[in-house]
Amino acid sequence: QKEVEQNSGPLSVPEGAIASLNCTYSDRVSQSFFWYRQYSGKSPELIMSIYSNGDKEDGRFTAQLNKASQYVSLLIRDSQPSDSATYLCAHEGNAGNMLTFGGGTRLMVKP
């Protein structure tokens, strides 16, 4: 079992819809969770961090964390074609501050 699991996609949503990206993890000790956006050929860009159970909202983005279920998700409201990218879920691993990443979910927002 991979430490961080994501559906590779592609997830295709129409412009203006809500995109829902999901991630499960196996390390129960993890306290810090992150979502990165990566455009093709570019480096990952941090878009959300979440540390406690519940929802955290930042503009069109909402991160949701459920530590009991070992599940973290990212909702993107009013999806735009510019949101088309790969979204990487990551958590703080067990070797200091290292990040353990999932394989990413490719999101396609169609005009």
Give the footprint of other proteins on this chain (CB under 8 A).
4, 32, 34, 36, 42-46, 49, 88, 90, 92-93, 95-104
Nearer to other proteins, 7 or 17 (CB): 7
- Residue (62 or 106) nearer to other proteins, CB: 106
**11 burial level (CB within 10 Å; 0-12, 13-18, 19+):** middle
Minimum CB separation of residue 96 from other proteins in Å reads: 4
Q: How far are the Cα atoms of 10, 92, 105 from residue 52, in angstroms, in the given order? A: 29, 13, 23
| Shortest distance, position 14 Cβ to other proteins, whole Å | 25
Helix (H, G, I), strand (E, B) or coil at 81: helix
